[in-house]
Amino acid sequence: MSAGHQPRILLIDDNQQNRYVLSRILQRANLTVEQCASGHAGLEAVLRAPDLVILDVKLPDVSGYEVCRKIKSDPATSGIPVLQISAAFTSNESKVQALEGGADGYLTHPIEPAVLLATVRSLLRLKQAETSSRLLAEEWQCTFNALAESVVLLDLENKVVRSNYAFEQLCEAAGCDGAERIIGQDAAAIFQQVLGRTDFLDHGQPARFSGEAQHRARWFHITVDSVEREGERVGSVVVLADITERKLAERSLQNAEKLAATGRLAQSIAHEINNPLEALTNLIFLSQYVSKEPTVSEYLRQASMELERVARITKQILSFHRDTKEPVAVDANDLVENVVSLYRPKMASRNIRLQWEKRELPEIAGFPGELRQVIANLLANALDASPDGGTITVRARRAMHGGADGVAFTIHDCGPGIPREIRHRIVEPFFTTKELKGTGLGLWLAKNIVTKHNGSLRYRTSQTPGRSGTSFRVFLPAVTDESREGLAAARSPESHAVPENSN
């Protein structure tokens, strides 16, 4: 009870003289008293939440024991202290019956005023302590539930004693049986389903356990601390922090660094090859006019053609790994052609036919290197899915999406199609069906790049025999009149765009 609060007592007694005497004693002690002469009237009055109920055992309509039982069995009134009194039932058996029925105290007439007031004040203090304890528990539970980390308290047998809202949501997302009633369950079974490991539960040491676990597409940092009471271990507390976003960022950074290193190496090799290629081309050109032997001339002609092909490949490698700091206007046909040219030899080695035809298309705005990466990832997936001797179809057409004009790129393979049970996961980071051959980041990166360019990525797939295959469709908005000025500024010498290296 707060300071200045005047406690309110509900007195239920059918004897008017007893009510008068007890009320006078209580009122002199600065207590407010409400009187009732029957059990039913008292049950109605107790709903107004008095601070204490003084209840006579013998009532005209219902037993005081029954009234007490009903007060204590109702969650709305169970916290109200009940002091039972009686002039007729004075035996120890009656007192035991009252206390076992839920009463918090028992006095018999004649009642000394000092004993009555001491008992009433004791029960009021008890109620105040219980109320404060309940409020503290509610505040603690609210704080506990507000934590973003999943927290669970275990006993020595690794049974769940308490958990917060985040842990309950985690269990529900993992499909745990009985996630709504976690308390008392075996933590090993829960963690096996949530994390895929339970070894940290056998830690059993006073020192903190700290580790990481990956389960499906999520990463968690696990912390386990012992809970001790009077120097003796009584359980443990497990904290799970979802670090998936951090792991994704780290993996993306590593992947980007690898791609950048590969690009720099490819540019360096292509640059170094270009110089001797030019000399060889010139020498072969001169040799064709010097030699009079038809066979030698034919060999030189074929060598010249192969050198031209190598030179073309090196130029494509150089252009593939260049990018700008600002978005520029990109030719959609060139974007596809640059990627397709790099994959033609692999397609030829597997006798895969490529259907690709240039069309008149609007320019699209973006970062060329990133957009080439999107097309390359989708084309590589199509190549992996296609059987030897199959066909891959690449189309680029003018399209509208969300009221915006742009270009729709479609890459279709005639592979077996994507199994239904994994279709909802193919864009998840780290999810791959290629085992050690794949990183599981290709489609995830492609989707993020397309989203960054205000585009969309969709797919259709079928496993129907004779008509199986998968089509990925990427829409990228075209350069608008408003963005054309910005793109022109990005190309100007005063802009911050990085010019393409002529080497």
Average pLDDT over residues 318-341: 76
pLDDT at position 495: 35
Mean pLDDT for all residues in the chain:
82
What are the backbone angles phi and psi of residue 162, rounded to the nearest 5°?
-155, 150
**Residues 373 and 443 sit within 8 Å (Cβ to Cβ):** no
Q: Which residue has the higher pLDDT, 494 or 55?
A: 55
Residue 85 above 60 pLDDT?
Answer: yes
Q: Which residue has the higher pLDDT, 233 or 307?
A: 233
Of 171-180, 192-201, 228-237, the one with minimum mean pLDDT is: 171-180
pTM above 0.75, yes or no: no
Torsion angle, alpha carbons of 309, 314, 319, 323, to 10: 160
Average pLDDT over residues 101-116: 90
pLDDT at position 431: 60
331: tokens are 């030719």
Average pLDDT over residues 360-373: 87
Question: Of 145-149, 290-294, 303-307, 474-478, which one has max mean pLDDT?
Answer: 474-478
Residue 433 above 70 pLDDT?
Answer: no
**Residues 307 and 284 sit within 8 Å (Cβ to Cβ):** yes
Q: Which residue has the higher pLDDT, 292 or 397?
A: 397
pLDDT at position 501: 35
DSSP string covering 241-291, please? EE-HHHHHHHHHHHHHHHHHHHHHHHHHHHHHHHHHHHHHHHHHHHHHHH-
436: tokens are 């050690």
pLDDT at position 92: 81
pLDDT at position 436: 43
- Burial of 498 (C-beta count, 10 Å sphere; 0-12/13-18/19+): exposed
Residue 488 above 50 pLDDT?
Answer: no
Residue 200 to residues 203, 211, 388, Cα–Cα distance (Å): 5, 8, 48
SS3 category, 352: coil
pLDDT at position 494: 40
pLDDT at position 260: 62
Question: Of 193-207, 300-314, 448-462, which one has max mean pLDDT?
Answer: 448-462
pLDDT at position 216: 78
